[in-house]
Amino acid sequence: MNAQSTPRISADGTVLHLLLGEAETRFHAIWLRDNALDADTRDPGNGQRLITLGDLPDTVTLTDARLAEGQLHITFQPEGKTCAFPLRWLADHTYDTSAPAPLLTKNVTPWDSAMAPPSADLTALQTNDDTRRDWLASIRRYGFAKVTGMTPREGGLFDIVDLFGYVRETNYGRLFEVRTEVNPTNLAYTGLGLQAHTDNPYRDPVPTLQVLACLENSATGGENMVVDGFAAALRLRDENPAGFDLLAGYPMRFAYTGSAGVALHSRRPMIELSPDGTLQSIRFNARSAAPCTDVPFDKMADWYAAYRRLSDIIDDTAQEVHFKLAPGEAFIVDNTRVLHARKGYSGAGNRWLQGCYADKDGLLSTLAALEAQDA
Amino acid sequence: MNAQSTPRISADGTVLHLLLGEAETRFHAIWLRDNALDADTRDPGNGQRLITLGDLPDTVTLTDARLAEGQLHITFQPEGKTCAFPLRWLADHTYDTSAPAPLLTKNVTPWDSAMAPPSADLTALQTNDDTRRDWLASIRRYGFAKVTGMTPREGGLFDIVDLFGYVRETNYGRLFEVRTEVNPTNLAYTGLGLQAHTDNPYRDPVPTLQVLACLENSATGGENMVVDGFAAALRLRDENPAGFDLLAGYPMRFAYTGSAGVALHSRRPMIELSPDGTLQSIRFNARSAAPCTDVPFDKMADWYAAYRRLSDIIDDTAQEVHFKLAPGEAFIVDNTRVLHARKGYSGAGNRWLQGCYADKDGLLSTLAALEAQDA
């Protein structure tokens, strides 16, 4: 550290100026105090904060900033409490930037039909942490991955969920059968082709992951397809930014009332952004789209034009990756991002898939823990 | 119907003008066509849409609008397809309004310490649909209800979830024990008092319901409290609209890494609005609040002031309903809205609660189905 890196405190004591790497960055006294890392502020065992904002003085100021051994030592007033912050930790948590929030988070890469589907063998996933980490990372990056080498048995798909988390049970059960039924409660249970869609947008919270595993597939047709909803939304945004803003700016309605005792309704946008504009999730499902009643009359024609264009983009084969699952193969999609579809099927032979839902919290947590283990 | 109620089609054929009740309202041709109720557009069995926007002509126009027997009959061009819409259905789905989206949806009523906690007996809930419907409706309205008359046994809280839906399993298990532990992985498993909070804000999706059931409660202290997060947010908005907008306008970060193999992180605002401004959810938890790094430097001081004020409002006893659970009693909270807390406890005697998570989709669906059954 050279002389330039000496930390400086603003005249009123509320802001610290600090050279981190090449750039000067600033932290507020209240931010530093609230996020102090000492054992009276954070439980050393479980890392949870032991104080609330109400435990702090009304005004927090700083004195005596100095650097030693890669740490900032600083004293909070009126408490007279000195705390240390590793400079690396401060660099990882700087907020003094003029960059707007990115449209996509750093671990997300959009894709089109040229994507080679990530895939791994179930036994390898169960026995090799590196294989499992890389496969989970590909789901975080692409919202999609395949699994091979399953025993094609009932409930076998739970072995996939056990790799990272927990099944989300719903009115469809812990798992559901995807095969042709008489009097189907859902068009999924017919031989009809299905446009690419996210599942259960009428559910809030939506299931954030879906697994579909193949037990039999000797019917003609029935290929699966996946489409990156983020890539489709970005393409819409490039072509028609105002249309993108309309789909992101108003809630859509979705509904499902096809089974006795079930009346699911949601009110969420087709393109969901964080409040600072990061792409968060996609809901797209023609089957369960309810009448849209939250868009003002004067904007409805443009909203529908954008919706139709998004639908066309989703139907464009340039966006689509397709494959036919063999018995013992499965795929997982991030249901907040990647749409899935199937071609119609018919004729002799059978097509039998089993599906289940799960959630991303467990998947991302397991991945982050595996990555931390490597670090 | 009098002469005034004759429907009228705009010159270009894209808009229908219709008198519904006292007011004229308008519908777009594309909206009507997409939402047509005929058996070729919607499956008569399960109600799902059989077409996509790509199946429709590029431009849809209207001809031959007429009313008969409480229905609008209208012909879509160029398809030459005539469809009927019940006027009551149209009135229920009108979107030609200048009213902005409400801050609270119609089934939500904010409350403070004067609220009398809704409560029902478990056996009545299991055997009487009216009791169950009213109890579920009170959870939709207040985000909180109690249950009495449980057998205080392990896993007994699942009987509550069975009334409406499904357990959300997490890394904490299908249920978790809330009692004092040595080396606790979470401060909940100590005798410490806990500020009112929503659970697991570091999880995305967050569990939208929580059930806490009492098996033993002979310790001194340990009362439970609940606070309406929507009421707290509205109070902040009244006092400091700019501060409300800051908390709603930027993501907060939450994290939990207190157990081996678990590294949960989320990036969601403390006050979450729909894109058109309806209050959607609250996340508030000092223990698991991670450093906020998404608020620009120039706004951080005001953001912290709003956060501190929200924390003070949440701590204000004027907002708080408190009660001590007896063995065999439980409560459920909407974890996207209502914060819960407990006072510290100690001394002789035991405090043993079991908790589990579930989701609102099932609860609201069961309620809507019970209401439809009455209609």
Does the beta-carbon distance from B291 to A31 stay under 8 Å? yes
Contact B50 A250 (CB under 8 A): no
Model pLDDT, residue B54 = 96
> Contact B98/A296, CB-based, under 8 Å?
yes
Window 225-284 of B, Cβ < 8 Å to A: 248-251, 255-269, 272-276, 278
User: Mean pLDDT lowest for which of A3-7, A90-94, B225-229, B296-300?
Assistant: A3-7
Which residue type occupies B173? G
Chain B residues in contact with A359 (beta carbon < 8 A) = 168, 205
SS3 state at A364: helix
Q: Determine contact: A186 vs chain B, CB below 8 A.
A: yes
Q: Which residue has the higher pLDDT, B160 or A189?
A: B160
Instruction: Tell which residue, A358, A351, A357, has the closest CA to residue A152.
Output: A351
Q: Nearest chain A Cα to B264, which residue?
A: A365
At residue B266, the 3 state secondary structure works out as: strand
Task: Identify the pLDDT of residue B162.
Answer: 98
Is B294 part of the contact surface with chain A (CB cutoff 8 Å)? yes
Give the closest of B170, B206, B251 to A166, CB-based. B170
Subunit contact A48:B368, Cβ cutoff 8 A:
no
What number of residues does chain B have? 375
Q: Which B residues 344-373 touch A at CB under 8 Å?
A: 359-362, 364-366, 368-369, 372
Mean pLDDT over the full length of chain A? 95
Interface with chain B: mutation pick from A14, A32, A48, A176, highest number of B CBs within 10 Å: A48
A52/B195 touch (CB, cutoff 8 Å), yes or no: yes
Q: Which residues contact B333 (CB under 8 A, 6 or more apart)?
A: B143, B144, B209, B210, B226, B339, B340
Tell me the count of A-B CB pairs closer than 8 A: 255
**Contact state of A264 with B361 under an 8 Å Cβ cutoff:** yes
Nearest-angstrom CA–CA distance, A231 and A110: 5
Question: In the predicted model, is pLDDT for residue A184 greater than 80?
Answer: no
Which chain B residue shows the shortest CA-CA distance from A315? B54
* Res B226: pLDDT: 98
| Residue B229 Cα, gap to closest chain A Cα (Å) | 16
Find which of A10, A17, A53 to mutate to test the B interface (most B CBs within 10 Å of its CB): A53
Q: Is the pLDDT of residue A3 over 50?
A: no
pTM: 0.96
B86/chain A closest Cα distance in angstroms? 14
Task: Return the percent helix, strand and coil in chain A, to nearest 5.
Answer: 25, 30, 40
Average pLDDT over residues A58-81: 97
- pLDDT value, residue B198: 98
Q: Is B4 on the interface with A (CB under 8 A)?
A: no
Q: Which of A245, A296, A243 minimizes the C-alpha distance to B100?
A: A296
How far is it, in rounded angstroms, from Cα B283 to Cα A275? 14
Q: Is the pLDDT of residue A5 over 70?
A: no
Per-residue confidence (pLDDT) for residue A106, from 0 to 100? 94
Report the residue of chain B nearest A201, measured CA to CA: B361
The pLDDT score that the predictor gives to residue B248 is: 98
Contact status, residue B145 vs residue B139, Cβ threshold 8 Å: yes
Structural contact between residues A359 and A208, judged by C-beta atoms closer than 8 angstroms: yes
Q: Which of A54, A265, A294 sits opposite B315 (nearest CB)?
A: A54
Structure confidence at residue A349 (pLDDT): 79
* Strand bridging mode B144-148 / B119-121: parallel
CB within 8 Å of B17: residues ≥ 6 apart: B7, B8, B9, B10, B24, B25, B26
Q: Chain B partners of A98 at a C-beta cutoff of 8 Å?
A: 296
The shortest CB-CB distance from A275 to any of B51, B248, B372 is to B248
Tokens read off for B31: 């909206």
**pLDDT score for B4:** 45
The interface residues of chain A toward chain B in range 42-101, judged by CB-CB distance below 8 A, are 43, 45-54, 93-98, 101
Q: Which two tokens stand for residue A196?
A: 């690419």
ipTM of the complex: 0.96
What is the pLDDT at residue A6? Answer: 86
Contact B365 A262 (CB under 8 A): yes
Q: For A343, phi and psi rounded to 5 degrees?
A: -80, 155
Interface of A with B in 188-207 (CB under 8 A): 195, 203-206
pLDDT tens, residue by residue, B239-290? 999 999 999 999 999 999 999 999 999 999 999 999 999 999 999 999 999 9
Q: How confident is the model at residue A2 (pLDDT cuts 50, 70, 90)?
A: very low
Q: Classify burial at A240, counting beta carbons within 10 Å of its beta carbon; exposed 0-12, middle 13-18, buried 19 or more.
A: middle
Helices assigned H by DSSP within A45-200? 87-92, 122-127, 129-142, 158-161
Which segments of chain B have a pLDDT < 50?
1-4
Cβ pair A263:B300 closer than 8 A: no
For chain A, domains (ranges, CATH) are: 8-92 (3.30.2020.30), 119-374 (3.60.130.10)
Element housing B140 (H / E) = helix B129-142
